[in-house]
Amino acid sequence: MRRALYQVHVWLGVLTGLYVSVVCVSGAALVFRIDMQRALHPHLFTASAGGPLADPVAVMERVSRAYPAHKLSGVDAPTTLRPTYLAYVTSGAEFRTVLIDPVSTAVLGELPDHPAIRALRDVHYNLLGGRTGRTLNGVGAFGILALCATGLVVWWPGRKSWRRGFVIDFSRRGRRVIWELHRAIGVWSVAFIAVTAITGLSFVFPAGFRALVNRVSPITVSRSPQSGAPAGSAGVPSRREVIDRARPLAAGQHVARVVLPFGDRGAYLVMFAARSPTPASSELTSIYIDQYTGERLATVVAERSWGDAVMAQMMPLHVGGLAGQAGRIAWFVLGLSPAVLFVTGLMVWWRRVGRPRVF
């Protein structure tokens, strides 16, 4: 059985290794998408002068004046990765991302969809093939999981010498050291590779993935609180009044995000962070405010199930959003490991199988 699984692992790696390398390397690059955007468009991520952080309401008013024909959806305060304010404005199907000076509230410009970043994103998400490419990506994720499972079987050196499978003896020469390099990198990165494949499946086949998790542990269906019945314009709180009423409910915290009401029954969502600028991947405190009365809306917090915890971690686990900058660096390095495994595995295969068959 082990010999048969070895053949499965070898030929599956040879046939799909290039695909796996392309998907993983493009994903590793996208971990630093915000850094690439800052390098390509530095004027959008640089404050004109030092000083205290501008009030989010002043930022919203400045954006509304700059885009009178658009609807403002919300604004995000500066983060440890993005030192400027960010706002979203829409007009029909048109969607624009606007960057704002964090001190003067001057509109710095719109974030363009750079061709290089767009190409990386399209390769990683859709293999340049639209919906068909995304489906193929999902099929490829099953292949990656098969490589992980068969690779562990091939790797296992036995109970007495299992430690040897984690190290590389560089005193060896030729094919043996390449094999040990392939084996050690594979076992050290197998958990990461399997997790990225599983989280990728949750994006390609969201309904099926949720249904599967729900069968194991019921997923809680949560709905955002809604404002009461629409009232007259008299007495309707302004944006500033809404935020001022939300601040005491999160004492000592800073406004990290404001989402404006959508529709007649939508509510304000004011989110607070413990520190400013907002730490990347930090937990935010959410306060919902009725758009007509300015009163806080109660949120029903159900007991989180194991399924809820799994679904909440799909995105952070896939993009490396768990441990700040250190997590992004780790995800980038681990994201390159499949490409190294493909090259080393191909070298071993070629010297053992490919070259003898050719010559």
Cα gap 198→201, rounded to integer Å:
5
Q: What is the pTM of this model?
A: 0.85
Q: pLDDT tens for residues 262-312?
A: 988 999 999 999 999 998 777 899 999 999 999 999 876 667 889 999 998
Give the N- to C-terminal CA distance of the chain in Å, as an integer: 30
Arithmetic mean of pLDDT, 82-109: 94
Place of tokens 């989180």: 304
Domain coverage including residue 244: 239-301
Res 30: pLDDT: 95
At residue 238, the 3 state secondary structure works out as coil
Q: pLDDT tens for residues 301-343?
A: 667 889 999 998 999 899 887 777 888 899 999 999 999 999 9
Together in a domain, 51 and 190:
no
List the CATH number of the domain containing 100.
3.10.450
Together in a domain, 54 and 186:
no
At residue 86, the 3 state secondary structure works out as strand
Together in a domain, 69 and 213:
no
Together in a domain, 27 and 150:
yes
Q: Is residue 28 part of a domain?
A: yes
Q: What is the DSSP string of 137-175?
A: HHHHHHHHHHHHHHHHHHH---STTGGGGG---TTS-TH
Q: Give the count of domains, the chain.
A: 3
Q: pLDDT tens for residues 131-183?
A: 999 999 999 999 999 999 999 999 998 888 888 889 888 887 778 889 999 99
Q: pLDDT tens for residues 100-117?
A: 999 999 999 999 989 999
Together in a domain, 180 and 144:
yes
Arithmetic mean of pLDDT, 15-40: 94
Final residue in a domain of this structure, among 81, 111, 141: 111
Together in a domain, 273 and 159:
no
Res 354: pLDDT: 59
At residue 264, the 3 state secondary structure works out as coil
Where in 29-148 does DSSP place strands (E)?
71-76, 85-91, 94-100, 107-110
Together in a domain, 207 and 259:
no
Together in a domain, 77 and 173:
no
Which are the contacts of 344, defined by CB distance < 8 A and separation ≥ 6? 178, 179, 181, 182, 185
* pLDDT over 60 at 358, yes or no: no
Establish how many alpha carbons lie within 13 A of residue 171's alpha carbon, considering only the half-sphere containing its beta carbon.
0
Together in a domain, 329 and 344:
yes
Nearest residue to 15 via CA among 157, 139, 183: 139
Cα gap 84→77, rounded to integer Å:
7
Res 233: pLDDT: 62
Together in a domain, 208 and 343:
yes
Which are the contacts of 269, defined by CB distance < 8 A and separation ≥ 6? 74, 224, 257, 258, 259, 286, 287, 288, 289
Over the range 281-311, which residues count as b (16 or more CB within 10 Å of their CB) and which as e?
A: beebebbbbbbbebebbeeeeeeebebbebb
Together in a domain, 157 and 106:
no
Q: Is residue 150 part of a domain?
A: yes
Q: Is residue 308 part of a domain?
A: no
Together in a domain, 106 and 72:
yes
